[in-house]
Amino acid sequence: MISAQAVKELREKTGAGMMDCKKALTQAEGDLEKAIDILREKGLASAAKKSGRVAAEGVIATYVSDDLKNASIIELNCETDFVSANEAFVALANDIAKAVAENNVDSLDAVKALPYGEATIQDAITALIAKLGENMNLRRYEKMEAPAGLVSSYIHMGGKIGVLVQVDAENATQEVSAVAKDVAMHVAALNPQFLDNSSVDADTIEREREIYRVQALNEGKPEKIVDKMVDGRINKFFKEVCLVNQMFVKNPDLSIEAFVKEESKKYGNIKLVKFVRFEKGEGIEKEEVDFAAEVAAQMGQNK
């Protein structure tokens, strides 16, 4: 039995019609990812949106050391956008990011156990929960170290999206940091999934190939040209999901790779090494509240 909630979720992820979603889920025996593939093969899905819709509140915070060598990014969640804008909440998120960058940690539990004043980070979170009256959670973090270059960061829309970009560089200067920040802004805007073609794992490539092959056959293309069509679509896929291949948002005449090469002529060799992008609440399903029913229930309880 396919639930209405599963159909709704598949429809939100793919943009396909309700009946098409139900049929795909039935064929996939309830497996959401398989249902997405089925819809894509039939050309009914606009995209395979693998990351869940942004539904939780909170803030993304980053920290980069003064020498630009050590950096971190963290996500601290709360229940409402009102609390996510609270000065104490934002300050705690920024302090946590700094603590992560300045300490050796290998897990979230280790981050939560770091000293914070006379207590720990987890104690500080717990105290703020008591003060502001909302549940909070340190969801994730990542560190970056750049011994052969630098790290630059970018925060979008007051903490909705955060990005770190690491580069190797002949000269770890503020000018090179600005180049890396431009790339970070691009990452925030276009959300690439991989650094370059070689970064795409074999399973992902094979999955895409199979989808494109079924699409081509469904379009009635002759078997003998299907493989060439699949190769072409894989190349297009690389251009869409790999950072270095994407066209630079600030100058669409250049790819990111070409942009970095142009800047290298001015400031010495620059090589993109790594990036990480956090978007607030991605993948978290937020409970939808019927406020009218909630108020009515509370009024009934207060009689």
Total count of domains within the chain = 2
User: Does residue 154 share a domain with residue 13?
Assistant: no
Residues 136 and 10 reside in one and the same domain:
no
Tokens representing residue 113 in the block: 């156990």
Contact indicator for 64, 151 with CB cutoff of 8 Å: yes
Among 18, 35, 50, where does a domain finish? Answer: 50
**271 and 131 share a domain?**
yes
pTM over 0.75: yes
Same domain membership, residue 137 and residue 22: no
Q: How far apart are CA 184 and CA 272, in angstroms?
A: 11
184 neighbors 152 (Cβ within 8 angstroms): yes
**Are residues 141 and 6 part of one domain?**
no
Q: Residue 301 falls within a domain, yes or no?
A: no
Classify residue 292: in a domain, yes or no: no
Tell whether 181 is covered by a domain: yes
The strands making up 270-279's β-sheet, listed across from edge to edge, are 149-156, 161-169, 270-279
Per-residue pLDDT of the chain (303 residues; tens, 9 = 90+): 889 889 888 877 776 777 888 999 999 999 998 988 888 787 666 544 433 333 379 999 999 999 999 999 999 999 888 999 999 999 999 999 999 999 999 999 999 999 999 999 999 998 898 888 888 899 999 999 999 999 999 999 999 999 999 999 999 999 999 999 999 999 999 999 999 999 999 999 999 999 998 988 888 888 889 888 999 999 999 999 999 999 999 999 999 999 999 999 999 999 999 999 999 988 776 655 455 665 565 555 554
- What CATH code is carried by the domain that includes residue 190? 3.30.479.20
The C-alpha atoms of residue 30 and residue 3 are separated, in whole angstroms, by 9
d(CA 109, CA 122) in angstroms, rounded, equals 9
Q: Does residue 230 lie within any of the structural domains?
A: no
Q: Do residues 15 and 147 share a domain?
A: no
Query: Could you tell me if 65 and 44 lie in one domain?
Result: no
Q: Cα separation of 217 and 68, whole Å?
A: 51
Element (H, E) at 116: strand 115-116
Residue 216 lies in a domain: no
Q: Does 17 lie in the same domain as 73?
A: no
Question: If DSSP codes are grouped into helix, strand and coil, which group holds residue 67?
Answer: coil
Report d(CA 41, CA 285) in Å as an integer.
Answer: 27
Residue 4 shares a structural domain with residue 123: no
Residues 94 and 25 grouped into a single domain: no
Host domain of residue 164: 57-195+259-279
Q: What is the largest CA-CA distance in the chain?
A: 75
Return the CATH number at 20: 1.10.8.10
Determine phi and psi for 275, rounding to 5 degrees.
Answer: -145, 155
Asked whether residue 297 is assigned to any structural domain, the reply reads no
All residues at 6 or more sequence positions from 86 whose CB lies less than 8 Å from its CB, including other chains: 132
Q: Are residues 143 and 77 in the same domain?
A: yes
- 291 domain residue, yes or no: no
At residue 55, the pLDDT reads 36
- Residue 203, domain member (yes or no): no
Query: Given CA atoms 38, 40, 43, 46 in this order, what sign does their dihedral have?
Result: positive
pLDDT score for 223: 83
Residues 120 and 264 occupy one common structural domain: yes
CB 153 within 8 A of CB 164: yes
For the chain, state the CA radius of gyration: 23
Distance CA 138, CA 103 (A): 16
- Compute the Cα dihedral for 17, 283, 158, 127 and give only its sign: positive
> Which is it for strands 57-64 and 70-78: parallel, antiparallel or unpaired?
antiparallel
Nearest to 117 by CA among 127, 107, 108, 106: 127
